[in-house]
Structure 1
């Protein structure tokens, strides 16, 4: 019975995915034909320069027609009544609702399931840490090259589809009856698909809204991702804990079914983005793909050179690299650590669900506090708070109650430090080179997912003590705090 349902849901996922891709492609084809006759004024932000064609208006920025929000003649997007979100902004946001379901499942359920597949003497903290490290390393190595190709006309959506499709298919494949090592390999591939799609998804924001609305649209993406992902998660948890009594399935079978449910949800909430997205900005046409690839590393080297010359900026970037690594590591390793300590899986899952609900309002409150006390001081408060979280997890986390406290603490500071880091960075970079610097910011953020998980996994392996592995995260936070303290805040000068 279980395998019949599983096969049906898998077929449904692939069918929906195929129809989604076909509908999106037909939509784009119709618009491409229409735009040849409806060219309008310059697109918003059309002044962004290209490192490949710096002085050539034919290639520096694409000028294309679009549906709503459409660029006006002065290069601005029309503001909807009462500042509400436009249709295209909403369709961009809902992808966060879709992919966040897999993120939440990866945090709460998958590590517990992976632990159940391992031998009795296996260490899930080490195995999970290395799996996360490999996935992050692959993305960090691929993104500079793939990003340059994606900047070619019409290529961004293709790369997005490739990574998104990989993530969904691998998510379904995790439902197969596997031993722990093949399962972790498939999980790594699914994570690569997720993170790769997110890189291109983030870059789609500039084609979706105007500069002055990006913070609002991006924040809504974070917020609805936190809240929306709880819907399929609750369904999956209800199935895992109630399925054996209702359907006569084993807990393992119900857990596998939850992977397929998550994949279906992910596909369903990607359809709006695929059917509405249009790449309005690109650095080169298809005929100049080779020049785009060649210019990638030249551009990266040039931006790094300018970064080194700006002391306040590079000191913040070093601090950001270390503290965001610690934040990502705490998020990704929390469940595997709790499982290793023997905390009941039900308590782990419910506590992490609470984190999602706490994170959204706290992120908004944190933003208001930054407006009163300053962005950098609030970032430093969050770094110190995360040091407290690490020490609490190391020395006091023994029972389910302590894990609940940990989950609430993480939710209080997780969204705030992520949102403020992005906005503070935008205040201290040269505005005329914003695209270049945000590309570097993205590389730092993706690469930062490597060191922390590797540090935890290696320390745990060498010492045989998972608590010491978690304590090693404090090293990253101390380094970050030192650089933040020494950095002169350009926004206060």
Structure 2
């Protein structure tokens, strides 16, 4: 495999993050949850129950259940798709296929109205599953387009571009939503337009990477009597048996699962903490979400620069120390103090993209050439498959102490545990174990 460091190809790769981040910000973070809850409520009986597939559930639980189901399906299917992509060398085609499945499903959310919650749930299920699948193939391109010493910078610039793109569309959608009456729109129609716009954004900007990403290795011939699905299962089984030969990779993955679980919990629960404990009004919570998008753009670039100066591993460790400081700072914020909540959001934003971007580039150094999609599918699945641990820890802390402050500061356990395990990782040794060129600075 030839790594080219071609600037045009790298910029095209960045644009997929620009494209799909609209789904994360506009659909998942802000608009779909409350809107689909309203649609589900319209379909509920007098007891507040709806009956998808004949199963009685509370209407407010429908969207969380659909999110959980979509993650479960990713856990089941992504490793097989990754193995098929590596064996067949069609990850570019699979990236395009799943990106457009997700984009068109998202556009279809425009037609969800009234009490048609099943349509909304089904479309989101398809879109979120496709989003996760496409991310596997997108991430697997990183080792092909960036040499080891450029990888931190390229990964960071991809994350930064995503924050900028997702934030820009979110600003436009908030302008539309908050001024719906001025545009002659009902609130519901404005939300549906916002949801559909995320799919259109995703579809339009995916054209750029599809035009410019290269296909490098040759497709392998299928053994007689086999097809890609059966070969994918066999290749995945081989990968699992092979992973024991890469102890440094496994150690890094264990550290990442812990600290990234803490990151995802803070992202998901910070607004709950702000509203329930600090009494931050909804308008300021939305403003904080917007601010985070744009500060995270600079933070991702800054950590790419930091990794070049002090090494990738140390840069991640610095970010984890800041994460610990952030949750401790959150514990001490007085109620109704909007400025300090903004400061907390800014601190989180600075390390948010950087810690994740540098983690991705470090992992890409530790995986064998030709198996990028397989390993990144396990990376994606491992992240999502354990993403319930920190929220559960938060919930238990809240239940037993009755304090959101103790619950939020308890998440430092995940950052500290991840940091301790990360100290045992030798990035250069991991790269050499996987048969790759080690970076100049680990």
Range of TM-score over shorter length: 0.7 to 0.9
Cα contact 2:18–2:161 (8 A) shared by 1: yes
Residue in structure 1 matched with residue 17 of structure 2 by the alignment: 96
CA distance in 2: counterparts of 1:205 and 1:483, whole angstroms:
25
Cα contact 2:85–2:373 (8 A) shared by 1: no
Aligned pair count reads 407
For residues 309-320 of structure 1, what are the structure 2 equivalents within 5 Å?
A: 310=247, 312-320=248-256
User: Given the superposition, is the C-alpha separation of residues 293 and 374 from structure 1 closer, same or farther in structure 2, using an over 3 Å criterion?
Assistant: closer
Cα contact 1:364–1:416 (8 A) shared by 2: yes
Measured after TM superposition, the shift of residue 236 of structure 1 is 0.3
Residue in structure 2 matched with residue 405 of structure 1 by the alignment: 343
Residue in structure 2 matched with residue 172 of structure 1 by the alignment: 107
Measured after TM superposition, the shift of residue 191 of structure 1 is 1.7
User: Given the superposition, is the C-alpha separation of residues 132 and 362 from structure 1 closer, same or farther in structure 2, using an over 3 Å criterion?
Assistant: same
For residues 200-279 of structure 1, what are the structure 2 equivalents within 5 Å?
A: 200-205=137-142, 214-244=151-181, 246-279=182-215
User: Given the superposition, is the C-alpha separation of residues 454 and 489 from structure 1 closer, same or farther in structure 2, using an over 3 Å criterion?
Assistant: closer
- 2:304 aligned with 1:304, yes or no? no
Note the residue ranges of structure 1 that are not aligned, 5 or more in a row.
1-44, 46-74
User: Given the superposition, is the C-alpha separation of residues 393 and 196 from structure 1 closer, same or farther in structure 2, using an over 3 Å criterion?
Assistant: farther
Segment of structure 1 superposing worse, 337-346 or 113-122: 113-122
TM-score normalised by the chain length of structure 1: 0.69
TM-score normalised by the chain length of structure 2: 0.77
CA distance in 1: counterparts of 2:274 and 2:60, whole angstroms:
9
CA distance in 1: counterparts of 2:73 and 2:136, whole angstroms:
13
Residue in structure 1 matched with residue 30 of structure 2 by the alignment: 108
CA distance in 2: counterparts of 1:207 and 1:371, whole angstroms:
19
- 2:403 aligned with 1:482, yes or no? no
Segment of structure 1 superposing worse, 400-409 or 204-213: 204-213
User: Given the superposition, is the C-alpha separation of residues 142 and 133 from structure 1 closer, same or farther in structure 2, using an over 3 Å criterion?
Assistant: same
Measured after TM superposition, the shift of residue 435 of structure 1 is 4.8
CA distance in 1: counterparts of 2:324 and 2:304, whole angstroms:
21
Measured after TM superposition, the shift of residue 259 of structure 1 is 0.6
Residue in structure 2 matched with residue 324 of structure 1 by the alignment: 260
Residue in structure 2 matched with residue 348 of structure 1 by the alignment: 285
User: Given the superposition, is the C-alpha separation of residues 317 and 285 from structure 1 closer, same or farther in structure 2, using an over 3 Å criterion?
Assistant: same
CA distance in 2: counterparts of 1:149 and 1:233, whole angstroms:
35
User: Given the superposition, is the C-alpha separation of residues 390 and 146 from structure 1 closer, same or farther in structure 2, using an over 3 Å criterion?
Assistant: same
User: Given the superposition, is the C-alpha separation of residues 211 and 200 from structure 1 closer, same or farther in structure 2, using an over 3 Å criterion?
Assistant: same
SS in structure 2 at match of 1:281? coil
User: Given the superposition, is the C-alpha separation of residues 115 and 219 from structure 1 closer, same or farther in structure 2, using an over 3 Å criterion?
Assistant: same
Measured after TM superposition, the shift of residue 412 of structure 1 is 0.9
- Based on CA coordinates, which of the two structures has the bigger radius of gyration? 1
CA distance in 2: counterparts of 1:126 and 1:455, whole angstroms:
20
Cα contact 2:71–2:385 (8 A) shared by 1: yes
Cα contact 2:153–2:304 (8 A) shared by 1: no
CA distance in 2: counterparts of 1:366 and 1:127, whole angstroms:
38
Cα contact 1:204–1:279 (8 A) shared by 2: no
CA distance in 2: counterparts of 1:374 and 1:230, whole angstroms:
29
Residue in structure 2 matched with residue 31 of structure 1 by the alignment: none
Q: Match for 1:417 among 341, 351, 355?
A: 355
CA distance in 2: counterparts of 1:304 and 1:321, whole angstroms:
16
**Deviation readout 1:64-108 (Å, 9 max, x if unpaired):** xxxxxxxxxxx564x77xxxx22x433332121111111122223
SS in structure 1 at match of 2:387? helix
Segment of structure 1 superposing worse, 285-294 or 373-382: 285-294
CA distance in 2: counterparts of 1:187 and 1:337, whole angstroms:
26
- 2:107 aligned with 1:160, yes or no? no
**Deviation readout 1:450-490 (Å, 9 max, x if unpaired):** 33345526864893969366555334223213323455776
Q: Match for 1:195 among 125, 132, 135?
A: 132
Cα contact 2:320–2:415 (8 A) shared by 1: yes
Cα contact 1:207–1:279 (8 A) shared by 2: no
